[in-house]
Amino acid sequence: MFYFFTTRKWMLWSLLGGAFILFSTWYQVQLDVKINEWFGEFYDTLQKALAEPNSVSLDEFVGYLFTFLKVASLWIVIAVITSFFVSHWLFRWRTSMVEYYHSMWRHARNIEGAAQRVQEDTIKFSRIMETLGVGLLDSIMTLVAFLPILYGLSKQVTELPWIGPVDHALIWVAILSALGGTALLAAVGVKLPGIEYDLQKEEAAYRKELVLGEDNTAFMKPPTIASLFSNVRTIHYKSYFHYLYFNICKWSYFQGMVIVPYIALAPTIVAGTVTLGVVQQIIRAFGRVEGSLQFLVKSWGTIIELISVWKRLREFERQINLSRESDGAEPQPS
């Protein structure tokens, strides 16, 4: 699965391409920091204009809007270019995997579901990595950029409701709420990766019988095909049940987290010790930090699918190596 990073043919693409993705993601995060600062200044200006008529000129107000337009436009350009490049980069990663499987086809062709591994699972792997890999990178950089900002802003929040004075309270609220949600959903969804793996295995067995039945009437016999589909139905129903309680916990957690920063800010807001602009900066910075810390929670469904694909490809490569060993060849690392 990782020949892309170890084969000389793909070395430049893997290293230089990875460096470009790293830089462009970092630049996007820096633009997001500028937008967060803009929100603080803009909402303070808005509060001033509403409280004191004619205290803000039209040119000054419109100037803030154009400033946002320039920063947001640059963010869009960088985001589109990065997305385009990541798609090409990951397709080359998939190509490196496919080329290896093609070269080993003599050993792979008799393995159960070989065609599905080479075609379907490689494209799933690349698409999941596009979503998950870039998301993880963005979350780490966002955390690095916004954690100091939230740390500075939290100095103005001196106490929490029902708890009292807490130094840098917002940092603790963000960390504990995110880690608590991650631990909760990890515990609730612990069975899902195995279920997803079994689901794909049963679907593959059923699909193979259908494909063989296209050319040979000896296959597709009612007892066999009915039994295979019964297995498919059973594993799907099992999946639906486990996702039912998992989704209840997941969406309850996310909806509850919407009001958490406002609860944390309640004593400060009621006391009137901060401006509207500062509140907006805090809420946005809190959301960025909390969102980064919640990466595993938000991506749990995708992570489950990635684990399933990884397990299938790892087993596929293990069987290829066993076939090579039986022929006297050296096994290949994955």
Classify residue 332: in a domain, yes or no: no
Q: Is the pLDDT of residue 298 over 80?
A: no
* 3-state percent breakdown (helix, strand, coil) of the chain, nearest 5: 85, 0, 15
Classify residue 14: in a domain, yes or no: yes
Alpha carbons 20 and 223: distance in angstroms, whole number:
55
What is the phi-psi region of residue 113: left when phi exceeds 0, alpha when psi lies from -120 to 50, beta otherwise?
left
Section 172-187 average pLDDT: 83
Query: Domain of 35?
Result: 3-326
pLDDT at 224: 77
Q: What is the average pLDDT score of the chain? A: 82
pLDDT at 23: 92
The overall pTM is greater than 0.85: no
Residue 156: give its domain's CATH number: 1.20.1560.10
Classify residue 334: in a domain, yes or no: no
Cβ atoms of 280 and 39 closer than 8 Å: yes
pLDDT at 219: 63
pLDDT in tens, 189-220: 888 878 877 887 888 788 777 777 777 666 66
| Domain count within the chain | 1
